[in-house]
Amino acid sequence: MPRTLVTGGAGFLGSHLCDYLLEKGHEVICMDNLLTGSLDNIEHTKSDRFKFINHNVTEYIDLDGPVDYILHFASPASPIDYLEHPIPTLKVGSLGTHNALGLAKKKKSVFLIASTSEVYGDPLVHPQEEDYWGNVNPVGPRGVYDEAKRFAEAITMAYHRYHGIDAKIVRIFNTYGPRMRINDGRAIPNFLKQALTGEDLTAYGDGSQTRSFCYVSDLIEGIYRLLMSDLNEPCNIGNPIEMTIQQMAEKILQASGSKSKIIYTPLPEDDPKVRQPNIGKARKHLDWEPQVKLDEGLKTTMDYFKEQLNV
C-alpha cells in the first residue's frame, strides 16, 4: 500500500486529492495548518488509511516510517489570501518547499509540487506553453505568490538534478468545483455567491480579460497521471477552452436564473489579461485532457454553494 503525504490537504484541491488517493488504495497523511484550509473539507473522510496532522510546513517536517509520495499543495492560492498573508505565502513557497523536499530526499519519495499558471505572469505569449518563461512583476502585490511558486519550481528542479529526486511540477490553471470557499475571491465563487444572494456581480476591468476554467475532478485526474508518469519537466494541467470574465458572469446569471446585474470595478494591479493553457504535453505524455463540460461542472458547483449559503 503506497503511503502518501499531501501538504495543504485540507484545502480545496488538497482535500480532493486526498479523496482520490484513498480511492486508489493509498494510505494518506494530510498535513495542514488551516490558514486557508478547513477541517470541513475532510470531515467526511472516515478511512482508517487517513490521518490528519496540524502542522505548518515552514517548520521542519518529520514522519515515522516510509513515505512513497509527497504532494506539496500547501499555500494560499487566491489573491485575497496571498494579499492578506504575503509573508506566509512567500515562506510556504520557499521554506515549506525546502522542508518538503528534504523529507522527499530522506524518504526517497516521489515529489510533486503544485505550481501555477501565475508563473507566466501577465503573459506576452498566448496560449501559454511550458517553455515560456513568463512576464512577472517581482515587486508588485501579486509577486509574493508568483515568485514563491517560481522559486518552488527552481528548488524542485535543483533537488531533481543534484539529489536525483523523482520530481514533478504541475502548473495548475483556473480550477473550480465543490469545496471552494464562499469568500474565496476568485471569479466563479464571487459570481456564484453574488448571483445566489441577489447581489450585483462584480467584474474587474471591462470584463474582457480571459480565463480557462477546469473542473476539479479533471484536474485531480491529470495530477495523478503526472505523479505516476516519468515526466520531470513542468506540465500544464487546465482546460484550454478560453472565455472572458464577462462571458462567465453571463453564464452564471443564466444558470442560476438570477436577475442580478453585472457591474464593473477597477482592474487589480498586474491582473493577467489572458490565460489559456497549451496542454499538448499533457495530451502526449499523460494521455489526459479535460472531460467535464462547463454546464455540468457549474451545476455541481452551484449545488454546493446553495447548500453552503442555505438558499
**Mean local confidence (pLDDT), 47-56:** 97
* pLDDT tens-digit readout, 53-98: 999 999 999 999 999 999 999 999 998 999 999 999 999 999 999 9
Residue 270: pLDDT band by 50, 70, 90 thresholds?
confident
Q: Which residues pair with 203 in a beta bridge?
A: 264
Q: What is the distance between the alpha carbons of residues 252 and 121, in angstroms, rounded to a whole number?
A: 27
* pLDDT tens-digit readout, 198-223: 999 999 999 999 999 999 999 999 99
Residue 169: pLDDT band by 50, 70, 90 thresholds?
very high
Domain with CATH 3.40.50.720 in the chain: 3-175+214-237
| CA quadruple 87, 90, 96, 102: dihedral, nearest 10 | -130
pTM of the model: 0.97
pLDDT at 269: 86
The catalytic position among 82, 145, 215, 224 is: 145
Phi and psi angles of residue 53, each rounded to the nearest 5 degrees, phi first: -125, 120
What is the SS3 assignment for 293? Answer: coil
Domain 179-211+241-275+292-309 part of CATH 3.90.25.10: yes
Continuous segment of H or E residues that includes residue 306: helix 294-309
> Cβ of 261: how many Cβ atoms within 10 Å?
10
pLDDT at 310: 94
Average pLDDT, the chain: 97
**What percent of the chain has a predicted confidence (pLDDT) above 70?**
100
**Mean local confidence (pLDDT), 172-197:** 96
Please determine, for residue 111, whether its predicted confidence score (pLDDT) is greater than 90.
Answer: yes
Domain with CATH 3.90.25.10 in the chain: 179-211+241-275+292-309
* pLDDT tens-digit readout, 114-162: 999 999 999 999 999 999 999 999 999 999 999 999 999 999 999 999 9
Q: Has 145 been annotated as catalytic?
A: yes
Exposed, middle or buried, 308 (CB in 10 Å: 0-12/13-18/19+)? middle
* pLDDT tens-digit readout, 12-23: 999 999 999 999
**What percent of the chain has a predicted confidence (pLDDT) above 90?**
97
Residue 242: pLDDT band by 50, 70, 90 thresholds?
very high
Residue 255: pLDDT band by 50, 70, 90 thresholds?
very high
* pLDDT tens-digit readout, 284-300: 999 999 999 999 999 99
pLDDT at 93: 98
Phi-psi region of 7 (alpha: psi -120 to 50; beta: other; left: phi over 0): beta
Please determine, for residue 268, whether its predicted confidence score (pLDDT) is greater than 90.
Answer: no
**Mean local confidence (pLDDT), 27-37:** 98
Architecture of domain 3-175+214-237: 3-Layer(aba) Sandwich (3.40)
